[in-house]
Amino acid sequence: MYKYRHPTPFVVDLSDNGGFEIRNRAYEHLQKNKNVSGAERGSEDQQGYGLLTEMVIRRELGLKIERDKNQSLAYDILTPTGIKIDIKCRGGEKPFLEEYPSSDGIQREAKHNLFARQVFDDRLDTDIYLMTHLERPKSGTLPGTSRQRKWKLYVCGWVSKGRAKREGVYLPRGSLTERGISGWFPYRGQEIEFYNKNLNGISDVRELFELTKEDIGQDKKRLGGLNLTSVDAVRIVYDLIGRGLLKEEHLRFVRKELGVEMIVKPFLHPNQYHHVLMWLKEKNKVEDAVLKKAEKILPREDFKGI
């Protein structure tokens, strides 16, 4: 029986000789199966990272690192207790952080992404998603070199497909998501955001073999937290107050509940807010006191020269 614990990621080092060997195995396997297609199939590099991650998890579980050719594509691993595991991997040049900084000084909670098309497809028979993050060098095309030291796999935790489908936030193509200090970017595909804080933590991959159907059933009914950043929750309440749907008391509740005491920076640049306020002042709709208060809450940014 699984006992819940906070999802603190643990690292599998892939920079040693064993890591280089399995990176080579993943690269060789990918070259033989380049033309395999599927829903939301990524670039060759992305396919390689996913394949490497699956091989690493299989190795850590004591299984042969390559799946059987006749195995269903709906899942990656079938445990002795009959649990079907679909391994998800996203990554980049930086290590996985449970929280990451932004320019307003408020930490942002880390999220994972699932392809909505896969989650909502009931024909893709899987019980849980195992969420991982692959840290790799800037020149991260497989297999890399034996001297590269940035190859690390962060194993973050698991969630049942049922709860991911019920609680994850579906975002259609073009939806914006924040990535800390570097700003926002639009999604190119149909995504589901599910936050790391809402996963079920494990401290060893072999714990996956202990999961039962009862554990999965309980997780499907479990109520998690918000699947968005605390900052975005405050931004949404700001907007809903302006639209007459919520009141200041709701903002106070959300701030207290989420522990957000600092001023949340707006989605648009503060200079644009000041532009609107100046326009309202010219129309004699606001006083100078409002502009002074705005300067404290949302400081303007002046041109500093080339």
pTM of the full structure:
0.91
According to DSSP, the β-strands at 128-135 and 152-160 are antiparallel
Tell me phi and psi for residue 147, to 5 degrees. -95, -10
Question: What distance in Å separates the CA atoms of residue 91 and residue 43, rounded to the nearest whole number?
Answer: 13
Amino acid at 125: D
Amino acid at 252: R
pLDDT for 45: 87
Bond preceding residue 9 cis, omega within 30 of 0: no
SS3 (DSSP) at 134: strand
Q: Of how many residues is the chain composed?
A: 306
Return averaged pLDDT per consecutive 10 residues of the chain, 306 residues in all: 94 96 95 64 84 97 91 92 96 91 88 95 94 93 92 98 97 88 84 97 97 97 95 96 97 96 89 96 96 92 84
pLDDT for 50: 94
